[in-house]
């Protein structure tokens, strides 16, 4: 998953980008509104409102006019009027500085679940012959329905939302097991092993050393 950070202050942007990368996200950063409008398409935008060239609310409006990319406004402007205008212009969430990284990650996950759980037609997630329907909570491979436990299904769905992308163990613990515990994650390995057996080819789920796992079409 690629996140675009739009923030002009290095002291804020640098630790934010580093923290997001530790969570397994692909991150790029621009420091101006013009840079945000000219940047390559991202899967989610973290947008500061106080930019040196274009007002962040105008950037939000222009981004929303051209795409449905999820936008989270991250700003020191916490007045109710700013929140209302930002949300009315198309922002999906509004976070006021100062904030904790864990809170921001939780909001990113919530917005992402709403935005990319389904494709543009409201259909299931697909990767090769694998199909994951989160609405019906059913998964099939080559037309054959997979018999998955609830946690196995949620783990497969978490990986299928962005095929080919590395998903960190911390993200999987948060999204599947609703915990931010950073201790042993052996339970993930047990469920991954079970999924590999049920998918019939261990190549479907690759281990990314030091990070987590990625869904791969073998």
Q: Are residues 68 and 88 in the same domain?
A: yes
**How far apart, in whole angstroms, are the C-alpha atoms of residue 206 and residue 204?**
6
Lowest-pLDDT choice from 6-10, 77-81, 107-111: 77-81
**How far apart, in whole angstroms, are the C-alpha atoms of residue 124 and residue 156?**
13
Q: Are residues 95 and 10 in the same domain?
A: yes
Q: Are residues 203 and 184 in the same domain?
A: yes
Q: Are residues 57 and 76 in the same domain?
A: yes
Q: Which of 68, 87, 116 is the last residue of a domain?
A: 116
Total of domains in the chain:
2
Nearest to 104 by CA among 7, 177, 184: 7
Nearest to 36 by CA among 7, 65, 73: 7
Greatest mean pLDDT among 115-124, 149-158, 178-187 lies in 149-158
Whether residue 55 contacts residue 102, with contact meaning beta carbons closer than 8 Å, is answered with no
pLDDT higher than 80, residue 191:
yes
pLDDT higher than 80, residue 120:
no
Q: Are residues 141 and 99 in the same domain?
A: no
Q: Are residues 28 and 109 in the same domain?
A: yes
Q: Is pLDDT larger for residue 182 or for residue 110?
A: 110
**How far apart, in whole angstroms, are the C-alpha atoms of residue 169 and residue 208?**
10
> Does a cis peptide bond (omega within 30 degrees of 0) precede residue 98?
yes
Q: Are residues 65 and 112 in the same domain?
A: yes
* CATH number of the domain to which 207 belongs: 1.10.10.10
pLDDT digits (tens, 9 = 90+) for 192-218: 999 999 999 999 999 998 889 999 888
pLDDT higher than 50, residue 166:
yes
Task: Output b/e per residue, 21-44; b: 16+ Cβ within 10 A.
Answer: eebbbebebbbebebbeeeeebbb
For residues 114-131, give the mean pLDDT: 67
Band of residue 117 on the pLDDT scale cut at 50, 70, 90? very low
Q: Are residues 104 and 25 in the same domain?
A: yes
Q: Which of 116, 139, 171 is the last residue of a domain?
A: 116
**What's CA 192's distance to the chain center, in Å?**
20
For residues 25-44, give the mean pLDDT: 93
Q: Are residues 10 and 106 in the same domain?
A: yes
pLDDT of residue 37: 95
Q: Are residues 140 and 204 in the same domain?
A: yes
> Is the pTM above the cut of 0.85?
no
Band of residue 119 on the pLDDT scale cut at 50, 70, 90? very low
Band of residue 39 on the pLDDT scale cut at 50, 70, 90? very high
pLDDT of residue 16: 95
Percent residues over pLDDT 90 in the chain: 43
Q: Which of 116, 143, 174 is the last residue of a domain?
A: 116
For residues 49-77, give the mean pLDDT: 89
Q: Are residues 39 and 79 in the same domain?
A: yes
Segments forming the whole domain that contains residue 82: 2-116
* CATH number of the domain to which 65 belongs: 3.40.50.2300
Band of residue 114 on the pLDDT scale cut at 50, 70, 90? low
Q: Taking the CB of residue 200, how many other CB atoms lie within 10 A of it?
A: 13
Band of residue 52 on the pLDDT scale cut at 50, 70, 90? very high
Q: Are residues 45 and 25 in the same domain?
A: yes
**How far apart, in whole angstroms, are the C-alpha atoms of residue 149 and residue 143?**
19
pLDDT of residue 181: 54
Mean pLDDT of the chain: 86
Q: Tokens for 39? A: 């940047």
């Amino acid at each position: 998953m690629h996140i675009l950070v739009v923030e002009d202050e290095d002291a804020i942007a640098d630790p934010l980008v580093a923290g997001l990368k530790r969570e397994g996200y692909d991150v790029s950063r621009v420091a101006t509104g013009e840079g945000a409008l000219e940047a390559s398409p991202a899967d989610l935008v973290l947008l500061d409102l106080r930019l040196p060239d274009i007002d962040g609310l105008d950037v939000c409006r222009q981004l929303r006019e051209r795409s449905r990319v999820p936008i989270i406004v991250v700003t020191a402007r916490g007045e109710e009027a700013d929140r209302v205008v930002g949300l009315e212009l198309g922002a999906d969430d509004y976070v006021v500085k100062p904030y904790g990284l864990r809170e921001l990650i939780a909001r990113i996950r919530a917005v992402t679940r709403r935005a990319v759980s389904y494709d543009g037609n409201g259909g299931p997630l697909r990767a090769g012959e694998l199909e994951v329907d989160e609405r019906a909570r059913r998964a099939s491979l080559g037309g054959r329905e997979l018999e998955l436990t609830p946690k196995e299904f949620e783990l497969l769905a978490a990986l299928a939302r962005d095929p080919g992308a590395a998903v960190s163990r911390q993200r999987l613990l948060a999204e599947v097991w609703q915990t931010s515990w950073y201790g042993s994650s052996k339970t993930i390995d047990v469920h991954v092993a079970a999924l590999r057996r049920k998918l019939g080819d261990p190549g479907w789920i690759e281990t990314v050393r030091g990070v987590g796992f990625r869904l791969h079409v073998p």
